[in-house]
Chains A and B, each alone.
Chain A
Amino acid sequence: MEHEITLVVNGTARRVRVPARRLLSDCLRHDLGLTGTHVGCEHGVCGCCTVLLEGRPVRSCLTFAVTVDGAEITTVEGLAGSDGRLSAVQRAFAECHGLQCGFCTPGFLCTVTALLADNPVPTDDEVIEGISGNLCRCTGYQNIVKAVHRAAELRAEET
C-alpha cells in the first residue's frame, strides 16, 4: 500500500507517494531525484546517508520515509546559500582537501554543519568525537578534522 506524504526538503514542500517500506534515502534519491545523499552500507554504520532532520543529523538509510511525513529535511543540495555560495563547511572542505572520491562527503558535510551549529568552536577531541560516526575510506580523516576547524573559523568570520 502506498502513502502520500509531504517532505519539506531544502525549504521546498514535496509531495510524494511511497510504500511504507521506502527508505528515506531511496525516497530522496530515487523519488525526488536528490542523489547527493549517498548510501554506503544501508545498515547505519558508514554515515554516507546522513541528512538533517529538523536540523539534527539522522541516517536516512535507517529511516522510513513515511515516518517523517511533514518534517523539514536538509540534504547536501541544500547546504549552499540561495545565491549558490558554498557554506562555510563546504568551502573549508575544499580549502583543506577534506575529500577525495567525495562519496562520504555529503554525510560529513551534514554532520559537521549540525556539529558547528551546536558547538561553534569545538576542540580537537570534540571534532574527532563529532565525526566519529562517519566512515571515509579515502582521506584518513586528517584533512577532514582540519576542515572542521577551518569551517569554525570561517563561520566566526561571517557572523
Chain B
Amino acid sequence: MTTKLFGEPVQRREDPRLLTGQGRYLDDLGREALAAAFVRSPHAHARIRDIDVGPALDVEGLVAVYTWEDLPERVGRALPLLIPHPALTHGRTAYPLAREVVRHVGEPVVMVVATDRYAAEDACALIEVDYELRKPVVGLEEAVHGAQLVHEDVPGNVGAHLVQEVPAPGGHGAREAIEAAPHTLSFRLDIERSASMPLEGRGVYARWDGRDLRVYSSTQTSTSVRMAVAAALGLPLPQVEVIAPDVGGGFGVKIVHPWPEEVLVPWAAMTLGREVKWAEDRREHFISSAHERAQVQHVRVGFDDEGRVLGLDVSILHDHGAYTPYGIIVPIVTSTQLLGPYRVGAYRVEFTAVYTNTVQVTPYRGAGRPQGVFCMERTMDKIARHLGKDRTAVREANFIRPEEFPYDQGMIFQDGRPLIYDSGDYPEMLRMIKELIGWDSFERRPGRGIGIGCYVEGTGVGPYEGGHVQITSDGRVHVSTGLTSQGQGHETAFAQIAAAELGVPIERVSVVTGDTRRFAYAVGTFASRAAVVSGNAIALACRKVREKALRIAADALEADPADLDIADGLVHVAGTPSASIPLSTVAVLANPLRYAFDEEAAKATQFSGTASPDRPPVAEGEEPGLEGRDYYSPIRSTFAAGMHAAVVETDPDTAEIKVVRYAVVHDCGRLINPMIVEGQIHGGVAQGIGGALYERMVYDQHGQLVNASFMDFLMPYATEVPHVETDHLETPSPLNPLGIKGAGEAGVIPVSAVIASAVEDAEGFAVDRMPISPSELFEARRRNRG
C-alpha cells in the first residue's frame, strides 16, 4: 500500500450522478420500448381450466398476448433449481408462465405486451382466466399436517429434511449430553415472514438486433442471468450480454434468477423484433418476488452450573413457500450460523423445509442468520435467567477463546466447505459493547430493559470473483469486476483499493460492476462477499499491472525494477524523484504501435527508437497493453462478528415499545472505507428493527397476502429507527491478502434477538416470538400477569 486511501472515509464516487437525477435505473432506460404486464393468479391454489384472451384483443396499443402454451418448449421449461442439495429430495420450481396449476397468489399466468404500460394493464384486466379452486396450504402447521398438498407429487409437503450432528469431544451426542446435564430447558420460538423490499422493484429490458441480445436487469448477478438466459433461449453465450444498471436496493431478493420475466421479456423482444421492458410494481413485488424469515424452532438445551452449554438440540420447521429455486440455503445457514461465537458441547440440528401456497422463500439480508441468532441468544438469556446469572457472564462462559482460532465447528457451511472460523476476539468485543451501552451501570426499572445479542457471520463465500485493471495512455485506470452493486458503494471502495495498490490518485480510477461486456466471469453480490472476493481479486489484478508497469519503466529509466516505486501516477526511482516516468507513458510503451493516433502514441511507434531491435516488440509471454486480470478464490469463508445491545422502554398502558439506545460493536476485519461500513450497519439495524417490531407478511386462510402494500406492511420511517452508536474491532482475516471480512448483512442479524432480550428484561416474562407489536405485548402481559 503506497497511499493512505485504504481505510479512509473517502466520499462516494457514485453520489454526484445519483444526487442529480442522472442515475440510470432499469425503468429509466428504454423509453421507446414496448411494455410488458402480467395477469397474475388471484388464487393461492387452483387449476387453470381455460384462458380467454379474446376480450383483450381490441385494446388499442396491444401487441401480443402469451400464455404458457404459446411458449416454445425450451422457453416454457420449469425454471432451474439453482442450488441442488442431496437433502432437497423434492425440489420444485415454477414455470415462467403457470402451466395448468397456480400455487400462490401472484404467480404469472399471462404475459401481455403493448405500446405502453397503461395499455398493457388495460388488456390484462380484460383477460378471463377460469380457475378450479383447490384448498390452499397456509402456515407451517398446516403444511406439516400434510392433509392438503402444494405439489401433488411431494408427500407431506416436505421438500427437504436434514439432520446434522456434532458430537461432544468424548463422543456423546447432543441428546445424551442433554440428558446427562445438571440443568435442562426446552422451549419453542417463532419468527414470522418478512421480505427484502428494496424500494426499486425488479425489472428487465431487452434489445435484440437480429443477432445479439442485450438484457438489462435489476439483478444482483448479471453474469448468471446471462448464462441462464442464453440457456433458456438457446443462444450462444457470446451473443448475449447482460447489464445491471444502477440498482435501487437488493437485499437478497434480486440474487434469484432467472425470474420468469428475465426469460420472457428477452424472448418477447426476440420474437417481436422490438425492444421490450417490464418494471415490477409494488403489489407485484409483494406477491410475486420472494419473502424470507418464517421459521418455528423447538429447542432443548442442557448446561452446567456456570451456564456452559453441554448439549443443544434444535429442530427447525422452515416455510419455503411454493417453490425452491434457491434450494435450502436459508435453513442451512440458520443451522450452521446458529452456533455464533460459542463452543457448545454437542450439537444436533434438524430442519424440515415444507411447501406452502405462498410466495417462495429465498435469502433476505441475513439469509437465515437472524433466525439462528434469535434461537441461540434466546437460549443464552434463558440459561442466565434459570441460573440467576448476568446474561453477559453466561455468554462469556461459552465463548470461543481468541487463542483457539482457527476454530472448527465441525459442520459443513453453505459453501459446502468446513465451518472453520478464521479469526476473532469475542471476549474483547463483549467488553467493548458492555462499555458502549453501559451494561454494568444500567438502571433497570419496570418498563425499562437492556438486551444484548451476539453473532458470527460467515462472509465472503466463494467460489470466486475476478478483477480486470487497465491503465490507458491518458493515465486513467479502468477497473471492472463482474459482480453487481445495489448501493454498497463498490465504485468507491474498489477505486480505493486500486488507487492504493497502484499509487495513483483516486480521481483517475473508474470502476464498472455488473456489466458482462466488461467482465464476464462472476458469481454475484450476496453473503457479504463483494469486498472480500472482488476486493481481493482487484488488488491481485492491480499487483500484476503494477509489476508490469515497473518492468517497462525500469527498461525506459534504465533502472532495476526493485528500485522503483509509484506515487501520484508517476513511476520513479526511489530516492531520485527526478528520474521518473508517468504511468500514461508506460501505458503507451506497453503497446507497440505502427500507427500514431496522437503525440503520446508516437513514442511507441516502430521508428521512435524506444524498442530494442534485438527482441520482438511484444516479448514472449507478454501481452500488449498495460492491463491485468486476476481472480480470487477463497479456500473457505471468512467469519465476521458483532455484538449489539439496546435499551428499550415499554409503555405501561399502550404497550408501545421504544428503542431508546442502540449500540453496535462490529468486526469485519480490515475496513476499506469506515463511512461505507457504518452506513451498511445503520441500514441493517433499521431493517432489523423493522423485523423485530413492525414487519410481517400477513396471509389469511385463503392464502391472500392481506397487507401487500406500503400502507399495511410497516417498514420503519425515520421516526421508528433509533440512533445507532458504533464501535469497531479489527481482527484481520488471515485468509485473504487484504485481511477483510465483509459487512453487508451484519447490521440486521442480531436485532430481533437484542430487542427480545431487552423487552423481556423490561417486562419480566419471556419473549419468544418476533416481531412483537404493541397489541401482542399487551396480550402477553395479560397472559403472564393475569
The residue that A101 contacts in the complex, of B198, B282, B709, with Cβ under 8 A, is B198
Interface string of A141-159 (1 = CB under 8 A from B): 1111100000000000000
Complex CA distance for A75 and B717, rounded to whole angstroms: 22
Q: A94-B12, A137-B197 are in contact. Are A105 and B18 (CB under 8 A)?
A: yes
Complex CA distance for A62 and B31, rounded to whole angstroms: 22
Complex CA distance for A79 and B489, rounded to whole angstroms: 23
| B664 to A: closest C-beta gap in Å | 11
Interface string of A127-146 (1 = CB under 8 A from B): 01101111111111111110
Residues A138 and B724 in contact, CB atoms below 8 Å apart: no
Residues B685 and A140 in contact, CB atoms below 8 Å apart: yes
User: Which A residues between 85 and 133 are near B, CB-CB below 8 angstroms?
Assistant: 86, 90, 93-95, 97, 99-106, 109, 128-129, 131-133
Q: Answer whether residue B199 sits at the interface, using C-beta atoms and an 8 A cutoff.
A: yes
User: Which B residues between 1 and 58 are near A, CB-CB below 8 angstroms?
Assistant: 11-12, 14-16, 18-25, 27-28, 31
- Could you say which residues of chain B place their CB within 8 Å of the CB of A30? 31, 116
Q: A103-B25, A104-B199 are in contact. Are A142 and B717 (CB under 8 A)?
A: no
Q: How large is the interface on B (under 10, 10 to 19, 20 to 34, 35 or more residues)?
A: 35 or more
- Could you say which residues of chain A place their CB within 8 Å of the CB of B723? 142
- Could you say which residues of chain A place their CB within 8 Å of the CB of B28? 29, 35
| B473 to A: closest C-beta gap in Å | 29
| B469 to A: closest C-beta gap in Å | 25
Q: Answer whether residue A37 sits at the interface, using C-beta atoms and an 8 A cutoff.
A: yes
The residue that B679 contacts in the complex, of A22, A35, A75, A139, with Cβ under 8 A, is A139
Q: A36-B22, A46-B710, A90-B19 are in contact. Are A134 and B14 (CB under 8 A)?
A: no
Q: A100-B488, A137-B715 are in contact. Are A142 and B200 (CB under 8 A)?
A: no
Chain B: CB-nearest residue to A33: B31
Interface residues of B, dominant DSSP = loop
- Could you say which residues of chain B place their CB within 8 Å of the CB of A93? 15, 19
Q: Answer whether residue B487 sits at the interface, using C-beta atoms and an 8 A cutoff.
A: yes
Residues B249 and A103 in contact, CB atoms below 8 Å apart: yes
- Could you say which residues of chain B place their CB within 8 Å of the CB of A90? 19-20
- Could you say which residues of chain A place their CB within 8 Å of the CB of B678? 97
Interface string of A36-77 (1 = CB under 8 A from B): 111111110110100000000000000000000000000111
Complex CA distance for A127 and B282, rounded to whole angstroms: 27
Interface string of A16-36 (1 = CB under 8 A from B): 000101100000011001111
Complex CA distance for A9 and B246, rounded to whole angstroms: 25
Complex CA distance for A139 and B381, rounded to whole angstroms: 30
Q: A21-B118, A102-B246, A145-B718 are in contact. Are A137 and B199 (CB under 8 A)?
A: yes
| B370 to A: closest C-beta gap in Å | 16
- Could you say which residues of chain B place their CB within 8 Å of the CB of A80? 20
Chain B: CB-nearest residue to A77: B21
Most buried by A among B18, B28, B281, B723: B18
Residues B721 and A43 in contact, CB atoms below 8 Å apart: no
Chain B: CB-nearest residue to A30: B31
| B244 to A: closest C-beta gap in Å | 12
Residues B721 and A102 in contact, CB atoms below 8 Å apart: no
- Could you say which residues of chain B place their CB within 8 Å of the CB of A35? 21, 24-25, 27-28
Chain A: CB-nearest residue to B676: A97
Most buried by A among B116, B199, B488, B687: B199
Complex CA distance for A45 and B119, rounded to whole angstroms: 25
| B37 to A: closest C-beta gap in Å | 13
Q: Answer whether residue B774 sits at the interface, using C-beta atoms and an 8 A cutoff.
A: no
Residues B20 and A76 in contact, CB atoms below 8 Å apart: yes
| B644 to A: closest C-beta gap in Å | 13
Complex CA distance for A45 and B23, rounded to whole angstroms: 22
Residues B199 and A97 in contact, CB atoms below 8 Å apart: no
| B410 to A: closest C-beta gap in Å | 36
Chain B: CB-nearest residue to A128: B718
Residues A43 and B709 in contact, CB atoms below 8 Å apart: yes
Complex CA distance for A106 and B679, rounded to whole angstroms: 18
Residues B683 and A144 in contact, CB atoms below 8 Å apart: no
The residue that A94 contacts in the complex, of B16, B282, B709, with Cβ under 8 A, is B16
- Could you say which residues of chain B place their CB within 8 Å of the CB of A41? 282, 709-710
Chain B: CB-nearest residue to A129: B719
Complex CA distance for A79 and B685, rounded to whole angstroms: 31
User: Which B residues between 695 and 725 are near A, CB-CB below 8 angstroms?
Assistant: 709-711, 715, 717-719, 721, 723-724
The residue that B20 contacts in the complex, of A46, A86, A101, with Cβ under 8 A, is A86
For chains A and B in complex, what number of residue pairs have CB atoms within 8 angstroms?
168
- Could you say which residues of chain B place their CB within 8 Å of the CB of A95? 11
Q: Answer whether residue B587 sits at the interface, using C-beta atoms and an 8 A cutoff.
A: no
Q: Answer whether residue B161 sits at the interface, using C-beta atoms and an 8 A cutoff.
A: no
Residues B282 and A139 in contact, CB atoms below 8 Å apart: no
| B145 to A: closest C-beta gap in Å | 36
Residues A139 and B682 in contact, CB atoms below 8 Å apart: yes
- Could you say which residues of chain A place their CB within 8 Å of the CB of B24? 35
- Could you say which residues of chain B place their CB within 8 Å of the CB of A109? 19
Residues A140 and B724 in contact, CB atoms below 8 Å apart: yes
Complex CA distance for A22 and B249, rounded to whole angstroms: 27
Complex CA distance for A133 and B710, rounded to whole angstroms: 12
| A119 to B: closest C-beta gap in Å | 16
- Could you say which residues of chain B place their CB within 8 Å of the CB of A79? 20
User: Which B residues between 255 and 283 are near A, CB-CB below 8 angstroms?
Assistant: 281-282
| B771 to A: closest C-beta gap in Å | 17
Chain A: CB-nearest residue to B681: A140
Q: Answer whether residue B146 sits at the interface, using C-beta atoms and an 8 A cutoff.
A: no
- Could you say which residues of chain A place their CB within 8 Å of the CB of B709? 41, 43, 45
Complex CA distance for A21 and B117, rounded to whole angstroms: 12
Complex CA distance for A128 and B718, rounded to whole angstroms: 6
Complex CA distance for A31 and B249, rounded to whole angstroms: 25
Chain A: CB-nearest residue to B28: A35
The residue that A42 contacts in the complex, of B11, B19, B282, B681, with Cβ under 8 A, is B282
Complex CA distance for A159 and B122, rounded to whole angstroms: 52
Q: Answer whether residue B418 sits at the interface, using C-beta atoms and an 8 A cutoff.
A: no
Q: Answer whether residue B247 sits at the interface, using C-beta atoms and an 8 A cutoff.
A: yes
Chain B: CB-nearest residue to A10: B21
Q: A140-B724, A143-B682 are in contact. Are A43 and B282 (CB under 8 A)?
A: yes
User: Which B residues between 227 and 263 are near A, CB-CB below 8 angstroms?
Assistant: 246-249, 251
The residue that A97 contacts in the complex, of B12, B20, B687, B721, with Cβ under 8 A, is B12
Residues A128 and B719 in contact, CB atoms below 8 Å apart: yes
Residues B16 and A36 in contact, CB atoms below 8 Å apart: no
Residues B31 and A102 in contact, CB atoms below 8 Å apart: no
Chain B: CB-nearest residue to A93: B19
Residues A138 and B21 in contact, CB atoms below 8 Å apart: no
- Could you say which residues of chain A place their CB within 8 Å of the CB of B31? 30, 33
Residues A43 and B710 in contact, CB atoms below 8 Å apart: yes
Residues A101 and B249 in contact, CB atoms below 8 Å apart: yes
Residues B249 and A19 in contact, CB atoms below 8 Å apart: no
Q: Offer 25 A-B interface pairs, CB within 8 angstroms, sorted by A.
A: A21-B118, A30-B31, A33-B31, A35-B27, A36-B22, A40-B248, A41-B709, A42-B281, A46-B199, A46-B710, A76-B20, A76-B21, A77-B20, A97-B675, A97-B676, A100-B487, A131-B717, A137-B251, A139-B682, A139-B686, A140-B687, A142-B682, A142-B721, A142-B723, A144-B718
Given contacts A36-B21, A102-B487, A138-B249, 20 further A-B contacts (CB under 8 A): A35-B21, A37-B21, A38-B25, A40-B200, A86-B20, A99-B18, A100-B680, A101-B198, A102-B248, A106-B21, A128-B718, A133-B717, A137-B715, A138-B683, A140-B681, A140-B682, A140-B721, A140-B747, A141-B682, A141-B721
B residues near A (Cβ < 8 Å) are 11-12, 14-16, 18-25, 27-28, 31, 116, 118, 197-200, 246-249, 251, 281-282, 486-489, 675-676, 678-687, 709-711, 715, 717-719, 721, 723-724, 747
